[in-house]
Chain A
Amino acid sequence: MIRVTLPPHLRKLAHVDGEVKLDVAGQITQRSVLDALEARYPMLRGTIRDHVTQRRRAFVRFFACGEDLSHESPDAPLPDAVAIGAESFMIVGAIAGG
């Protein structure tokens, strides 16, 4: 079970409270986690990754286990602690005013 933490705007959009828990098949990577997230919550498609390019949106960051994973390859394995559900994969909106 993979745990994913969404920023408040996306929690509201997906109608969820707290963490999201996902079954993810195969290797646990950013791509496989986000694919599973979007399959479960299709209203989130396009909000984290661009619809067309599938690249992370500029103001969205990924963190886990105290590390910034935003610039890692989407196909790189996520930390073991995320893969076994001990830690959450955090999707965070960049801090900015407004």
Chain B
Amino acid sequence: MSGVRVLVGTRKGAFILTSDEKRKKWEVSSPHFAGWEMYHLKGSPAEPNRLYASQSSSWFGQIIQRSDDGGKTWHQPGTPPGEPTTAPDGTPKGESNKFAYDTSAETGKPLTTHQWYDGTPHPWEFKRVWHLEPSLTDPDTVYAGVEDAALFRSTDGGQNWQELAGLRGHGSGDKWAPGAGGMCLHTVLLDPSNHERMFVAISSAGAFRTDDAGKTWRPINRGLHSLYIPDPTAEIGHCVHRIAMHGSRPDVLFMQKHWDVMRSDDGGESWHEISGNLPTDFGFAIDVHAHEPDTIYVVPIKSDSEHFPLDGKLRVYRSRSGGNEWEALTKGLPQSDCYVNVLRDAMAVDSLDKCGVYFGTTGGQVYASTDAGDNWAPIVRDLPPVVSVEVQTPP
């Protein structure tokens, strides 16, 4: 692979956008999985042509798709058509779209309810995969963040999925409650310096960390302050929208919360606000420059009830100081009558020398900057509403 490959998930299919390293001319693929909701596609850092995709539908549920050739062809990992679905010993073979919560006493806890919107107990029900995070080193290992919130892992290329049940079972799961978009586990960050450490985030429960490869977990929400919950500094209940990390500095985390942009310098042990001079600190997406760990990007959204840019002006804000001081990036972006949203998984960066920044909107545009945000242009502008954007660049 050479150049840049942008993987775009939309409400009605997936699109793959490709360009050479100049990033001026783009080819837009025909829709993959047309008509299906494509919450997320992501490539393996260890094998860039290995892609995983979450395909779902309110009618027909969850499908996992895999490509081994960079998105040219796709298949559902698991039992091939026409083959027996059980092994000779009677055990079921791989069902790549089966996400069954672990309620066994041995590995998890028989946790059966979380809180519903009104605080009443509600049974755990699988709805969809929001985010797929391939292992940094093994193309066959991939994590899935799902709704109702849980973390699953496949170690056979997506054929079988097992829940890392210590997350739901660590003690606070019965207090988790859904955000407006559902009770989703949407962020999975793998620490490149410590393979035992992972971070996840759940709306609206908060952020969690494991230091033993997913066996045990604990909340990491100290310093978060959320006025929309009864106890604004509670250990659980914060609506974290997205967390970003730079691989060279995995103890530094940046968070876009329901309101507030936050930073942790100690692997999530504590957080402090870095909203600074942002015109509004509500938003969904946040990401970090590929080569400058203190350069971060957010797209401020007016409010939790008005999910569009302030004053109809689509502005990315960049901080080069790790937060607090922010500058508006507007060149090439619509500065009047713009009322789109940028969802939590819809921003990504490439790793070319001049870092490219990309984001997709609910209006179907994917914008790119080839100069770290100074100038922007649409790659494509009339897709279905964009849910996720990921970028691959050559090793």
Please give the residue numbers on chain A whose beta carbons come within 8 Å of chain B beta carbons, in ascending order: 7-10, 13-15, 38-43, 45-48, 50-52, 57, 59-60, 93-94, 96, 98
Residues in chain B near residue A42, CB distance under 8 A: 78-81, 83, 85, 93, 95
Q: Please report whether the interface of chain B is mostly helix, strand, loop or mixed according to DSSP.
A: loop
Residues in chain A near residue B57, CB distance under 8 A: 9
Do the beta carbons of A52 and B59 come within 8 Å of each other?
no
Q: Can you list 17 pairs linking A and B with CB atoms under 8 Å apart? A: A7-B59, A9-B36, A13-B60, A38-B85, A39-B84, A40-B82, A42-B83, A46-B97, A47-B61, A51-B98, A51-B99, A59-B59, A59-B60, A60-B60, A93-B59, A96-B58, A98-B58
Minimum CB–CB distance for A70 against chain B, Å? 13
Considering the chains assembled together, what is the distance between the CA atoms of A45 and B37 in angstroms? Answer: 18
* B63 CB–A CB distance under 8 Å: yes
Given A51-B97, A51-B100, 20 new contacts (CB under 8 A): A7-B59, A8-B35, A9-B35, A9-B60, A10-B60, A39-B85, A41-B81, A42-B79, A42-B93, A43-B63, A45-B85, A46-B97, A47-B61, A47-B63, A52-B100, A57-B61, A59-B59, A59-B60, A60-B59, A93-B60
Minimum CB–CB distance for B125 against chain A, Å? 9
Minimum CB–CB distance for B14 against chain A, Å? 14
* B62 CB–A CB distance under 8 Å: yes
Residues in chain A near residue B100, CB distance under 8 A: 51-52
Given A38-B85, A51-B95, also A46-B61 (CB < 8 A): yes
Please give the residue numbers on chain B whose beta carbons come within 8 Å of chain A beta carbons, in ascending order: 35-36, 57-63, 76, 78-85, 93, 95, 97-100, 126
Residues in chain A near residue B98, CB distance under 8 A: 45-46, 51
Minimal Cβ-Cβ distance residue in B for A8: B35
Minimal Cβ-Cβ distance residue in B for A40: B82
Residues in chain B near residue A40, CB distance under 8 A: 81-82
Residues in chain B near residue A9, CB distance under 8 A: 35-36, 57, 59-60
Do the beta carbons of A13 and B58 come within 8 Å of each other?
no
Residues in chain B near residue A50, CB distance under 8 A: 61
